[in-house]
Amino acid sequence: MAADPLRCGQEAGGRFYWLEYGFCDMKIFGPEQARGVILWNHGIAGTQVQHAAPPALALRLLQARGWDVLKLNRHNLSEGADSYRRAEERVLEEIKTQRARGYRKIVIAGQSFGGRVALEVGTTSSDLFATIAMAPGMETTIGTAGPRGRPTSACASPRASVSPWCSQAGMSSSAIPTAGRPRGRSSRPRAGPT
């Protein structure tokens, strides 16, 4: 019997990206039964291995409530000036793959570098249910413009569904339209079923 390609604890080998389950001690629902899939993007810390760390603990609760959590891992020794662009392109590919697998709702999430990637993809992809960015990086090593010359902050995007971190970072979120809402309304999500 072949090994599960999404098994936990994989090593990079010669790969730059690979996908694995976020929490192997929890039930995987699959595209037909899951509420959706969350694609987790880890941060970076120089030469330290970040892909071995589990996704944010808050995502365990979402998996317990019927969401599948998958980690999109990156090889930590292959990071460079074009890492944001490559990571964004890979996440966009994975969104298409998970949609083709049958997931109806796709969420991208990430922390630090991964949060920044999530915000960038969230401003360019129309095929997402939500974006979760935890302590997203605000600047790149490639200057003041992000991938393809876009602003480095999703706060500057007219399609961004901004969270309170924009104003805490000294950026005005009240003047930025949020996805599906007129200007001036709160961008905080309302409690309720998903």
CATH number at residue 89: 3.40.50.1820
Q: Is position 37 within any domain?
A: yes
Distance of CA 60 to the CA centre of its chain: 15
Specify if 142 maps to a domain: yes
Read off the pLDDT band of 65 (50, 70, 90). Answer: very high
Tell me how far apart the alpha carbons of residues 95 and 14 are, in angstroms, rounded to a whole number: 23
Task: For residues 10-21, give the mean pLDDT.
Answer: 71
Any domain includes 21: yes
Q: Is residue 161 part of a domain?
A: no
pLDDT digits (tens, 9 = 90+) for 77-122: 555 556 778 888 889 999 999 999 999 999 999 888 888 889 889 8
Query: Does 48 fall in a domain?
Result: yes
Contact assessment for residue 119 and residue 133, using Cβ atoms and an 8 Å cutoff? yes
8 inside domain: no
Structure tokens at 182: 């007129």
Whether the pLDDT of residue 158 is over 50: the answer is no
Cβ-contact 187, 178 below 8 angstroms: yes
* Side-chain half-sphere exposure of 110, counting CA atoms within 13 A: 28
- CB 115, CB 84: distance < 8 Å: no
Least confident piece of the model among 5-14, 74-83, 171-180: 171-180
Does residue 25 or residue 82 have the better pLDDT?
Answer: 25
Residue 135 belongs to some domain of the structure: yes
Domain residues for the domain of 45 are 17-154
pLDDT at 58: 87
Say how many domains are in the chain.
1
Q: What is the CA radius of gyration of the chain?
A: 17
Integer Cα distance of 192 and 194 in angstroms: 7
8 A C-beta contact, residue 154 and residue 116: no
Domain presence at residue 148: yes
pLDDT at position 70 is: 92
Amino acid at site 146: G
